[in-house]
């Protein structure tokens, strides 16, 4: 089977940095915890767990040691609690996620009602909610209908949302009775690059594979976008999850991967796929 890998797939700088910081911390210290899974990829989480990284969702249950703040960041209350318990902090928050938190704080200080377009359940959004008071999250049209009226709205966006979604939601927000609207683009260029390359590729191939954690927001976004243009799009975590019957009758496959997918997962997938005989002559 002919396999084409999208440009710019796999680890983004923020994830690479978080893994490097975690590995370096584990080499130097004992009792190292991450506040939630360090990235949304079970293979990497397992590797780090094998090196001694413990995961805790609840700061109060961490008895002693060092807490790594993952790339999604943490809210101010969480940071205060960590310090209060005398635990050491190693901050692996992605600088672009930090920027969103700083902007939220700044907009609040300037008197805006801060509104973030994103997924309320996602840790990055939860951390932003913890960086300034009274932030509204816009995940769907119903949330827009609930926005306060006649207020100064300061709009930001979860880093991994698509530009299309950001624009659609902005258009809808602009139709509400606000008194002033300030919009700051907080999308991540790395995530946008992956989305653009994946959408381009999925339209040229018979079948498209998106590799990455099932809870990874940027991987899910890649799959959602590609499904719009190629119905034969599949989101898998690794080669073991591939149902080879999806390959039959297809001659070309496209592969991309989320920002938290390790290179070896991509390489293993591509090598195995390239060896697969689908019984169909491929176009060169
Ligand atoms: S996708 Fe972008 S914002 Fe998220 S960790 Fe990577 S570089 Fe940072």
d(CA 79, CA 63): 15
Question: Which of 36-65 are b and which e, b meaning 16 or more Cβ less than 10 Å from the residue's Cβ?
Answer: bbbbbbeebbeebeeeebeeeeebeebeee
Q: What is the CATH number of the domain that holds 140?
A: 3.40.1010.20
281 domain residue, yes or no: no
Q: Is the CB of 71 under 6 A from ligand 1?
A: yes
Quote the pLDDT of residue 280. 59
Residues 85 and 69 in one domain: yes
284 domain residue, yes or no: no
In Å, what is the CA distance from 176 to each residue of 107, 145, 172, 173, 181?
A: 19, 8, 7, 5, 10
Q: Residue holding tokens 């989480």?
A: 45
In Å, what is the CA distance from 124 to each residue of 93, 99, 117, 129, 141?
A: 10, 12, 12, 9, 21
The encoded tokens of residue 90 equal: 């190693």
pLDDT tens, position by position, for the chain (284 residues)?
A: 999 999 988 899 999 999 999 999 999 999 999 999 988 888 889 999 999 999 999 999 999 999 999 999 999 899 999 999 999 999 999 999 999 999 999 999 999 999 999 999 899 999 999 989 999 999 999 999 999 999 999 999 999 999 999 999 999 999 999 999 999 999 999 999 999 999 999 999 999 999 998 888 889 999 999 999 999 999 999 999 999 999 988 999 999 999 989 999 999 999 999 998 766 555 44
Residue to mutate (ligand 1; options 158, 188, 221; most atoms within 8 A of CB): 188
Q: How many domains does the chain have?
A: 3
Strand 252-257's sheet: what is its strand order? 2-5, 252-257, 207-211, 233-236
d(CA 116, CA 187): 11
Q: Is the CB of 259 under 6 A from ligand 1?
A: yes
The pTM for the full model equals: 0.87
Residue to mutate (ligand 1; options 9, 15, 215; most atoms within 8 A of CB): 15
**Quick check: is 171 catalytic?**
no
Task: Note down the domain range covering 56.
Answer: 13-94
- The SS3 of residue 208 is strand
Which of 143, 163, 183 is at the close of a domain?
183
Residues 115 and 86 in one domain: no
Q: What is the CATH number of the domain that holds 50?
A: 3.40.50.11270
């Amino acid at each position: 089977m002919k396999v084409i890998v999208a440009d710019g797939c796999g680890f983004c700088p923020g994830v690479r940095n978080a893994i490097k910081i975690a590995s370096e911390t584990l080499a130097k210290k004992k009792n190292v915890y991450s506040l939630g899974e360090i990235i949304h990829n079970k293979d990497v989480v397992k590797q780090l767990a094998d090196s001694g990284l413990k995961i805790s969702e609840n700061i109060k249950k961490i008895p002693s040691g060092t807490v790594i703040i993952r790339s999604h960041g943490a809210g101010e209350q969480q940071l205060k609690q960590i310090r209060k318990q005398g635990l050491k902090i190693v901050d692996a928050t992605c600088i672009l996620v930090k920027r969103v938190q700083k902007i939220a704080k700044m907009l609040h200080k300037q008197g805006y009602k801060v509104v973030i377009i994103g997924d309320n359940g996602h840790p990055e959004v939860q951390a932003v909610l913890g960086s300034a008071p009274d932030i509204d999250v816009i995940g769907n049209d119903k949330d827009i209908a609930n926005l306060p009226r006649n207020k100064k709205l300061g709009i930001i966006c979860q880093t991994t949302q698509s530009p299309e979604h950001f624009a659609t939601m902005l258009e809808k927000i602009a139709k509400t009775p606000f008194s002033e609207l300030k919009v700051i683009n907080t999308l991540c260029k790395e995530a946008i690059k992956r989305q653009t390359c994946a959408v381009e590729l999925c339209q040229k191939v018979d079948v498209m594979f998106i590799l990455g954690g099932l809870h990874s927001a940027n991987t899910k976004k890649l799959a959602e976008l590609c499904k719009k243009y190629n119905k034969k799009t599949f989101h898998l975590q690794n080669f073991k999850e591939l149902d080879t019957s999806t390959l039959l009758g297809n001659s070309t496959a496209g592969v991309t991967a989320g920002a938290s997918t390790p290179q070896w997962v991509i390489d293993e997938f591509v090598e195995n796929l390239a060896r697969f005989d689908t019984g169909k002559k491929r176009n060169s």
